A and B are shown apart, each in its own frame.
Chain A
Amino acid sequence: MKMFNLNSRLARRATATIALGLLLGAQTAMACTVDNWTANSNSLTPGSVIPGSPTAVSRYSGFCAMEVAPATTAWVQDDSPGGIDRIRARFYVRNGLSSGFSVIYRGFSTTDGTGTLVTVFLNAAGTVTLVDASTGTQVQQTSATEWTSIEIDWSQGASDGFIALSVNGQNPAEQTGLSNAGSGLQSVRLGNLNAATGVLGFDAYESRRTTEIGRLCVGDADGNGEIRFFDVTQIFEEVSSGGNVLAPGQPDVDENGEVRFLDVAAAFELVSTAVDCP
């Protein structure tokens, strides 16, 4: 998982996965960086919500996230793809667009930001569009939450290429049988690639070659993979401490960009109705 979290880079390219892991450290001493990406535009804001950290930004999971200022072109770049013909990627974006749309993710046949192969657009209304550049084929889904999970699957082929998009865990919107063979995918960029108006936040990027990634378990505030009443306590602790004690998992149950008492109640609702993690 490529995160906006720590200085450490844990690159594991086992099998077909390009996962960069997260190493959790002491909350108070942690600085958030984007150093584990291949490159960045130097105009974005990695930051945690911990008081005293360089910058406080809203996060979806863990202790850090990345934020892009309004009307600013800012991105991080991953060159791990290295010429592949298929990529699955999942990330969370916090939609603070005030109007129009943003190019929030793009895959290239080069490492210099040219040769677009695939693009993800997000508009102010929460509509996400995945476009295969070579054929112009697109699929769309819409999110009603501020933090939105986006999972894409893009594949090249002579007549068997395809694209698939799942927003907030919906059944994927797909287009198959594409004739989009060509140069392989060398790199991807994530951010506000067209200086769109409004603040955008990003978190929890993960990419793989073939296997589905899926959503993080919302409400699993302690990050143990289950939703239990301890998660309610964990969120309450974050709220009651004013953010001094952060939940290491996904505490923003209503996905509105803030961890508040309503998230405590929402987490309790998940526990009391025995909702399981996906």
Chain B
Amino acid sequence: MSNQTLIKILAASFLLSFATSGIGQEISIDKDTDLLSQPQVRIDFRLKGDAHISGFQLDVPYDPATQTPNLDNCLAGLPKSHQGEFAICNALPDKGIVRLVVMDLGRNRALPLGQTLGFITFDLGKGASGSAAPAVENVLLAGPDGKPSIVTADEVFEVQVQ
């Protein structure tokens, strides 16, 4: 079997798998798919519960050698109150993190609960595996006065990896 034929078969297999997996399902990363297209992992950010969270800071560690972050929608779900100069989603390959910072300086209005505030996708290159799916670290939450919230990240911050 030629390499070209192999690639065609693998491509069909991958596309079928993707079509049936649906949004919200974990994508299985097969090493062979590296030949075809970039497999992805998606991380959604949202708040749950009923706390007044006015802002947050967090890091998403990744391996710059095997993962490429797409930040186009990182802040896409933010309300207008939190859009602007003090909302940023920054890929820092030298530190191996994506840093998100969202603030509502001076007003500290509450972020919406239960809706996706944004998401990051990572294109996984050669050498990546399913276990390389990014996590979220160093989550800091600001309360109604802009100072550290009394609630913990575990209580209110929800991260979904797809």
Contact = CB atoms under 8 A, between A and B. Distances in A.
Interface of A: 228-230, 232-233, 236-237, 240, 264-265, 268, 271-274
Instruction: Please tell me the size bucket of the interface on B.
Output: 20 to 34
Interface stretch (B24-32, B37-45, B62-70, B89-97): B89-97
B103 interface: yes
Contact of B59 (A232, A264, A274): A274
14 contacts: A228-B57, A229-B140, A230-B140, A232-B105, A233-B146, A233-B147, A236-B105, A237-B146, A268-B85, A268-B103, A271-B57, A271-B101, A272-B101, A274-B99
A228 B140 contact: yes
B92 A273 contact: yes
B77 interface: no
A229 B106 contact: no
Interface string B51-94: 00001110100000000000000000000000001101010100
Contacts of B146: 230, 233, 236-237
B148 interface: yes
Given A265-B85, A274-B99, A229 B55 contact: yes
A229 B57 contact: yes
B133 interface: no
Nearest to A265: B85
Given A265-B85, A274-B92, A274-B97, A233 B103 contact: yes
Given A240-B106, A265-B85, A268-B86, A229 B147 contact: no
Nearest to B97: A274
Contacts of A264: 105
B148 A230 contact: yes
Nearest to B88: A272
A273 B103 CA distance: 15
B161 interface: no
A268 B101 contact: yes
Nearest to A271: B101
Contact of A230 (B90, B97, B147): B147
Nearest to B140: A228
A69 B103 CA distance: 41
A232 B142 CA distance: 11
B82 to A, nearest CB: 12
A271 to B, nearest CB: 6
Contacts of B147: 230, 233
A255 B105 CA distance: 22
Return the 9 tightest CB-CB contacts between A and B, nearest first.
A233-B146, A229-B57, A272-B88, A236-B105, A272-B90, A274-B99, A229-B101, A274-B95, A272-B101
